[in-house]
Structure 1
Amino acid sequence: MGPRGLLLLLALAGSCASLIRIPLTKFPSMRRILRESGSEIPDMNAITQAIKYKLGFAEAGKPTPEILKNYMDAQYFGSIGIGTPPQNFTVIFDTGSSNLWVPSVHCSMLDIACMLHHKYDSSKSSTYVKNGTKFAIHYGTGSLSGFLSLDTVTLGDLKILNQIFGEATKQPGITFIAAKFDGILGLAYPRISVEGAEPFFDNIMKQKLVEKNMFSFYLNRDPSGSPGGEMVLGGTDPKYYKGEFSWFNVTRKAYWQIHMDSVDVANGLSVCEGGCEAIVDTGTSLITGPTKEVKKIQQAIGAKPLIKGEYMVPCEKVPTLPNITMMLGGKPFALTGEQYILKMGAEGETICMSGFSGLDIPPPGGPLWILGDVFIGPYYSAFDRDNNRVGFAPSA
């Protein structure tokens, strides 16, 4: 190897060494746990129950609009520490919200969800700073509420000082009782942060803790694969993707929102005709879109309604299902049947569920498509705050 080749190798090694790697563990989703135990599954499509987002944006002097999220299908979690010494929590790294919260030691003894999870205790941290502002985040099953605090957050090799976060003293409904995670770490823009709390990655940027103001996600879709995935702070890791990245500008700095040209089924159906808006959301397992359009997709792939807005296809038909392609910036991002169908157990049998789900997000934020883990798995995804863009490359 010549000197030039050696320099290139050293440069690559240096750039990879400066990345912060957070392993992600893949658990069965709460929906799967409830289904396999024969328990009642909340209706995720009932508008009063759990619309994933109720999007609107705060006007001057008016309160932050409610953001309704459900995490029934979330599967990928990672670890953070809060305080000195660090108290460890399992969180969803969620590009579809902007707040960090964990359960608090001050929650009620009657709050079952809180009792079953790790709880932050400010009295055990030497770096705790009191804030005390009350907060509430509205979910389909009720309000999650508590108060804000400041402390040091440890993530991999990073120490993020004075991070504001929510201590949750009340958690609603079965969602959080069944949850395999303790809390949520939001990675979206400040515009949708409840109580105007500075989001985690904004604090990292302010403290200049990473080389590039970018983070990326690799999600391993192999159920038995290890690791379950990896979040990389400071850039992208070439071992997780093939070829080049395609980049798409963020069209509204709230969620990671981009323009989508169309969604095409190989057998001729096209929806999102004339273009639509989509958000890239690691906190959502499925791909969602307006109910009428998603219903056409379900019909085109031969999926039959099951319950609660879910659709299934005969498992033997999965290998012959048509590709479904998201057109972004004139470039095709295709998903095969094996990629957009989810296999799960139900009462001793395997059923094959469509990875598409209908969800009507009202104006002014909607209508919107959500590209969740069903899309992010096949396409390594990078979120670039320096240039306000999202990038995709085929996963290795």
Structure 2
Amino acid sequence: MLQIINIVIAVLFVNDVVGAAATPALGKVFEIPIYRKPLEFVNEKSPDTSDNDIEKPKPPNPWKNDTVSLEKFMDAEYFGIIRVGRPAKEFRVVFATTWADTWLPSAHCGLLEMACMIHTRYDSSRSSTYQEDGTPAKFEQSGNDNLSGFVSRDHFHLAHITLENQSFVEVTHIPFIPYGYSKADGIVGLAFPNMRQVQVETFFSSMLKQGLIEKPVFTFYFNRDPTTERAGRLILGATERKYVNGSLTTVPVINKGYWSIRADRILLEDYSKTYAFCKDSCEAILDTTTNTITGPTAEIERLNALLGARAFVPSIFKMNRYMVNCRDSAKLPPINFVIAGVDFTIRSKYYIQHLTYESMEICLSPFVPDNQTQWLIGGAFLMQFYTEYNFNTGQVMIGHTKY
């Protein structure tokens, strides 16, 4: 049982808090491809970030084929590499549609801050481009201990694009659950600006204002193909519609804080019978921080019962995860999300989370109960659908992913 608990805890990077980010301007395109392969870290001093380069003229911003490898962890997290400061130090970050703020663990964490100590920490004393701010910052989280720290500024390097003097929070207190089990070090928020909990320029707004990207748009494309290391792509400032099979569906954002859209209904089709959820439409928040799909408790419990899923660990752990029989998982029924009158169907070979630990195999339902009325639609849905997010129009474009 201890092994089972360990493996489930490891995938529970499900954030209870959500923030916001971004505003419009003009520039170029920057792409972040996503890979499954392990990360290879370089020394903090590298040829393109040497102190000897400080006085050199700034070259034109490259934009074609500027990519950063990312790592996928147990179908639970997708994160990319940013480099911060001079000499640049690498951090693994989740690019989160349910946050607006950007934060990294700080070297000023206390020795008892275990979640901070086991991750890469930002040390301002080792960066020549650091600028002091010091404004206290706290991220309020419902149901969890809060993150807290202070604001700093430094250069953020994305492949060959440098975001200068970007404000972020150096976090000095990080609750161990859930962050102690996250492979990512921090968060880069991509939600709307009014969701900020710290009133500084957001990451996406800075890219626009500094002319690093062309359009107030970002795009996510994920790929679960096990035969390739490439697991998807985040495109900042443009779209990549060659990954779309068929047409795109335009869906208005109903709450410009989160990327919230209206789902008409959710259907489970089992043989000749159809079971309906979200019958009278519901708010659905697109969430790139996790693989799960969270919904109202009564509806999720009913849905899991129809899948034959049962609670995985004792309720005292408050994990709210359900397990299915791995041998039968491929036979589970598809789930159909009707959005803007269009069917978006997810299939069990993608929505079931398969985990292995030593000789043990565990299969988890992605459906997680919550006492909120909204649904949070994470990777179990997004892995099969290409999505574009437009700050100017307040719209999301959704299409079937071409594999």
* TM band (smaller chain): 0.7 to 0.9
**How many angstroms apart in 2 are the aligned matches of 1:243 and 1:191?**
34
The match for 1:75 is 77
The match for 2:293 is 287
**How many angstroms apart in 1 are the aligned matches of 2:212 and 2:236?**
10
The one of 363, 368, 377 equivalent to 1:357 is 368
**How many angstroms apart in 1 are the aligned matches of 2:105 and 2:296?**
34
8 Å Cα contact 2:16/2:144 also seen in 1: no
- Of stretches 273-282 and 301-310 in structure 1, the one that deviates more from structure 2 is 301-310
SS of the residue 1:319 aligns to: helix
**How many angstroms apart in 2 are the aligned matches of 1:86 and 1:192?**
29
2:175 pairs with 1:172: yes
Shift of the alpha carbon at 1:37? 7.3
SS of the residue 2:150 aligns to: strand
**How many angstroms apart in 2 are the aligned matches of 1:266 and 1:105?**
51
The match for 1:387 is 393
Shift of the alpha carbon at 1:319? 2.7
Cα RMSD for the two superposed structures = 2.6
Deviations 1:4-54 (A, max 9, x none): xxxxxxxxxxxxxxxxxxxxxxxxxxxxxx95574784997xxxxx88248
2:265 pairs with 1:262: yes
**How many angstroms apart in 1 are the aligned matches of 2:87 and 2:311?**
50
The match for 2:346 is 335
Shift of the alpha carbon at 1:219? 2.1
Partner amino acid for 1:341?
I
8 Å Cα contact 1:36/1:347 also seen in 2: no
**What is the percent sequence identity of the aligned residues?**
36
Query: In structure 2, do the counterparts of structure 1 residues 353 and 40 end up closer, same or farther at CA, with 3 Å as the change threshold?
Result: closer
Partner amino acid for 2:213?
V
2:157 pairs with 1:193: no
Partner amino acid for 1:249?
P
**How many angstroms apart in 2 are the aligned matches of 1:189 and 1:73?**
26
The one of 88, 91, 101 equivalent to 2:90 is 88
Partner amino acid for 2:389?
F
8 Å Cα contact 2:11/2:76 also seen in 1: no
8 Å Cα contact 1:189/1:199 also seen in 2: no
The match for 2:56 is none
TM-score computed with the length of structure 2 as normaliser? 0.77
**How many angstroms apart in 2 are the aligned matches of 1:103 and 1:134?**
14
The one of 245, 250, 261 equivalent to 2:248 is 245
Deviations 1:52-90 (A, max 9, x none): 2489xxxxxxxxxxxxxxx99841110011223322111
TM-score computed with the length of structure 1 as normaliser? 0.79
SS of the residue 1:242 aligns to: strand
- Of stretches 137-146 and 286-295 in structure 1, the one that deviates more from structure 2 is 137-146
The one of 7, 16, 21 equivalent to 1:52 is 16
8 Å Cα contact 1:36/1:345 also seen in 2: no
Partner amino acid for 1:350?
E
8 Å Cα contact 1:304/1:311 also seen in 2: yes
Deviations 1:203-226 (A, max 9, x none): 222223212211111223245641
**How many angstroms apart in 2 are the aligned matches of 1:257 and 1:337?**
25
**How many angstroms apart in 2 are the aligned matches of 1:185 and 1:54?**
12
Partner amino acid for 2:282?
C
Matches within 5 A, 1:303-342: 303-307=309-313, 308-342=319-353
Partner amino acid for 2:148?
S
Deviations 1:210-269 (A, max 9, x none): 122111112232456412322111222234332222121111111111111000111310
Deviations 1:263-306 (A, max 9, x none): 01113100101111010010121111101111121122222232
SS of the residue 1:196 aligns to: coil
The match for 1:152 is 155
SS of the residue 1:283 aligns to: coil
Query: In structure 2, do the counterparts of structure 1 residues 347 and 290 end up closer, same or farther at CA, with 3 Å as the change threshold?
Result: farther
The one of 89, 96, 99 equivalent to 1:97 is 99
The match for 1:132 is 134
Shift of the alpha carbon at 1:354? 1.0
Query: In structure 2, do the counterparts of structure 1 residues 190 and 336 end up closer, same or farther at CA, with 3 Å as the change threshold?
Result: same
Partner amino acid for 1:120?
Y
Query: In structure 2, do the counterparts of structure 1 residues 171 and 393 end up closer, same or farther at CA, with 3 Å as the change threshold?
Result: same
**How many angstroms apart in 2 are the aligned matches of 1:266 and 1:258?**
23
Partner amino acid for 1:75?
E
The match for 1:203 is 206
**How many angstroms apart in 2 are the aligned matches of 1:221 and 1:103?**
30
2:184 pairs with 1:181: yes
Query: In structure 2, do the counterparts of structure 1 residues 213 and 101 end up closer, same or farther at CA, with 3 Å as the change threshold?
Result: same
The match for 1:12 is none
Unpaired runs of 5+ residues, structure 2, are 20-72, 314-318
8 Å Cα contact 1:214/1:382 also seen in 2: yes
SS of the residue 1:194 aligns to: coil
